[in-house]
Chain A
């Protein structure tokens, strides 16, 4: 069945460092891909998404490109801030499954000043 594999955390970075969180997927058809973020004490929020191959999702300085050839959707940010400390989840949704999301394990990010 469909699955998402995310790099394990926790990830600890200094402010202004470059961030990459790897995400690969296995799916039939042409899924939509998502990154969700959960800040401390809050619910899950959609960070960005891409619905077809080569699409780039971007938001708040984060980017991820839907790579069908490598079945990947890696999350990147050029310069992280302390406020980016959160848990990041990669997820996919396949057409026709009523938005039933398949999730990765989540990667905890801590950014130190």
Chain B
């Protein structure tokens, strides 16, 4: 089966611009998660979708971040406007069920805001 895919793999943008990251989970996986690793810090949870519904968005840093999962398939994470501190690696993961089933991670999108 195809794994979790993320686009783009790298993105370099200027402060104030908008960037949209995309995640395609494994087909049939209802659960989709976004995580972020800022340089030198821990990977942090951002949010969790079950199908198209946001189950938990407690980790979203502020209202410049907008995540969607229309139709319960792929998800996008938009940052608008981007700030320097948004630089980092954004990981997406999916799983079949909420508890007990393993998380499958994508390779991540490295975002650099200059």
Contacts and interface: CB of A to CB of B under 8 A. Distances in A.
Interface string A53-89: 0000000000000000000000000000000000001
A112 B55 CA distance: 44
A99 B98 contact: yes
Contacts of A100: 33, 45, 48, 56, 59
A27 interface: no
A43 B91 contact: yes
B35 to A, nearest CB: 8
Nearest to A101: B45
A96 B93 CA distance: 18
B102 interface: yes
A43 B4 contact: yes
B45 A43 contact: no
Interface string A95-113: 1011111111110000000
Interface residues of B, number: 26
Contacts of A46: 102-103
A13 B59 CA distance: 36
Contact of B105 (A43, A97, A104): A43
A12 interface: no
A44 B91 contact: yes
Contacts of A43: 3-4, 91, 105-108
Interface of B: 3-4, 31, 33, 35, 40-45, 48, 55-56, 59, 91, 93, 95, 98-99, 102-103, 105-108
Interface of A: 4, 36, 41-46, 89, 91, 95, 97-106
Given A95-B99, A99-B98, 15 more contacts: A43-B91, A43-B105, A44-B105, A44-B108, A45-B105, A98-B56, A98-B98, A98-B99, A99-B48, A99-B99, A101-B43, A101-B103, A103-B42, A105-B42, A106-B43
28 contacts: A36-B105, A42-B107, A43-B3, A43-B91, A43-B106, A43-B107, A44-B91, A44-B93, A45-B105, A46-B103, A89-B43, A98-B55, A98-B56, A99-B33, A100-B56, A101-B43, A101-B45, A101-B103, A102-B42, A102-B45, A103-B42, A103-B43, A103-B44, A104-B42, A105-B40, A105-B41, A105-B42, A106-B42
